[in-house]
């Protein structure tokens, strides 16, 4: 009976279709993610900062190396302070898998905080403006309401939670951001690995 009901739902078009996710990488290695043609993530920054949030190191400004490994597109940035790798893969079921490996050397003078942040254009998300706030935070999964439908993100690797934040009231930002932040330990080699898998559900009526 359950099997027949599932077939009937499919036949009637009651099972939600997945939204189309695509990505591109520019000459600097910046990643753009779109869902049904609407840009949701538009470039990222990785910064080591001091106690006053001043930038000490920006590893993604190092010379870029690009590699294609089957269906995986990999970008690598290496400097004397950090080695960073990001992989992007479109899976057979249409989801996107994005993986990060970030290694900072120890003993960087003044180092206090590390942030990996994606720029998320304000016109692409369905949230009323209520000042700066954390809309969602998790080390496992979150659902973000966008103008194109629901963006579902599953996280693995890092135990530190990712956060989706409304930064529209901040003059220096003015949009949303998806961010992973942690403390830098000057006495240790700081290695963080994090993977996220993105899928989408179209808005009703699309």
**Model confidence at 1: pLDDT above 60:** no
**Model confidence at 76: pLDDT above 90:** yes
Q: What is the pLDDT of residue 131?
A: 82
- Let me know if 51 is exposed, middle or buried by CB neighbors in 10 A (0-12, 13-18, 19+): exposed
- Contact of 42 with 125, CB cutoff 8 Å: no
**Model confidence at 22: pLDDT above 50:** yes
Q: What is the pLDDT of residue 6?
A: 36
Average pLDDT on 65-94 reads: 96
Residues, the chain, total? 206
Residue with the larger pLDDT of the pair 30 and 130: 30
Instruction: Give the DSSP letter of residue 125.
Output: B
Average pLDDT on 30-46 reads: 97
**Model confidence at 80: pLDDT above 80:** yes
* Gyration radius of the chain's alpha carbons: 19
Q: What is the pLDDT of residue 206?
A: 55
Q: How confident is the model at residue 205 (pLDDT cuts 50, 70, 90)?
A: low
Alpha carbons 91 and 127: distance in angstroms, whole number? 29
Task: Centre a 10 Å sphere on the Cβ of residue 194 and count the other Cβ atoms it contains.
Answer: 19
**Model confidence at 10: pLDDT above 60:** no
Q: Residues 6 or more apart from 10 whose CB is under 8 A from it?
A: none
- Contact of 198 with 22, CB cutoff 8 Å: no
Average pLDDT on 139-157 reads: 96
Query: What rounded mean pLDDT belongs to the chain?
Result: 91
Q: What is the pLDDT of residue 16?
A: 56
**Model confidence at 3: pLDDT above 60:** no
Q: What is the pLDDT of residue 189?
A: 84
Which range, of 93-107, 122-136, 166-180, averages the lowest pLDDT?
Answer: 122-136
Angle at 140 between CA 59 and CA 76, to 5 degrees: 20
- Contact of 199 with 120, CB cutoff 8 Å: no
Alpha carbons 3 and 17: distance in angstroms, whole number? 19
């Amino acid at each position: 009976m359950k099997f027949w009901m599932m077939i009937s739902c499919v036949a009637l078009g009651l099972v939600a279709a997945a939204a189309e996710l695509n990505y591109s990488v520019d000459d600097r290695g910046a990643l753009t993610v779109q869902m049904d043609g609407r840009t949701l993530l538009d470039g990222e920054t990785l910064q080591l900062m001091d106690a006053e949030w001043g930038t000490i190191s920006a590893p993604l400004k190092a010379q870029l190396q690009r590699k294609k490994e089957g269906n995986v597109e990999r970008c690598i940035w290496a400097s004397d302070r950090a080695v960073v790798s990001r992989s992007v893969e479109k899976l057979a079921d249409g989801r996107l898998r994005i993986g990060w490996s970030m290694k900072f050397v120890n003993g960087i003078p003044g180092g206090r905080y590390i942030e990996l942040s994606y720029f998320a254009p304000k016109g692409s998300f369905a949230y009323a403006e209520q000042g700066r706030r954390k809309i969602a935070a998790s080390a496992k999964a979150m659902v973000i309401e966008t103008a194109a439908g629901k963006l579902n993100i599953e996280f693995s690797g890092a135990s530190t939670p990712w956060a989706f934040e409304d930064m529209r009231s901040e003059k220096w930002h003015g949009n949303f951001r998806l961010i992973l932040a942690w403390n830098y330990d000057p006495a240790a080699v700081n290695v963080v690995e994090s993977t996220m898998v993105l899928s989408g559900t179209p808005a009703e009526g699309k």
